[in-house]
Amino acid sequence: AQQKQRFLRPLLRADEFWCQGFSEPGAGSDLASLSTRAVRDGDIYRVNGQKVWTTMADQADWMFALTRTSASGRGSEGITYLLISMHSAGIKVRPLRDISGGTHFAEVFFDDVEVPVENRVGEEGKGWSIMRTSLGHERATAFLADEFKHRRTVEQVLDLLVDQNLDSDPLVRQDIARMESGVRAIAANSARALDAVLRGEDPGGVASVNRLVKSESEQHMHTLA
């Protein structure tokens, strides 16, 4: 209750900006192999390690992060979910410049960063299930915006095809049908995921399927363009 009182209103109002500290140099798709350590020292955790591909970390006030608090157990066991102030002593953020010249991602380094125990979400060592819930809800709600973004992009691709007099080509029309089917699949899966959230259920499965559908649809759409 205290965490909700402290964090939710400024988060919803965008008075405080957050980033996600999950991926690491050696733990991307295999997230459970993360190695950032959080060692309990009285009323604080001392955090050491690194996160990477952290979106807009250079602008964030806070990070919700996965840390390893126990060397025992296997895989996802011993992982703890912490809320870390990005203004803490010992945090260094290095933006990563992508091929377009943008710096949307960053590396984040933790050097003996002190995090109050009261900033732990859930029980120590039980952060993996919280992370799965976080990702499921993130994808379920983000896909609603993706649906409109994809619809707009599809219309731009169609305008491009018409301008170049390619819209009567039967093979191109087949690609157009596939592109339209992809957008409608994203919309349908987004509705299913949101429905699960509103029923208080875990949208993880539907959200993961939609992540795959969205990725394949984007690749086809850009190839066609």
Phi, psi of 113 (to 5 degrees): -75, 130
The answer to whether the CB of 38 falls within 8 A of the CB of 83 is: no
The residue from 77, 123, 138, 180 that is catalytic is: 138
Q: Using CA atoms, how far apart are residues 10 and 119, in angstroms rounded to an integer?
A: 16
Identify whether 124 is a catalytic site residue: no
79-85 and 105-116 beta bridge pairing: unpaired
In terms of DSSP H, where are the helices of 92-167? 127-163
Structure-derived torsion over alpha carbons of residues 132, 133, 138, 139, reported in degrees to the nearest 10: 60
Q: Which residues pair with 166 in a beta bridge?
A: none
Active site residues: 138
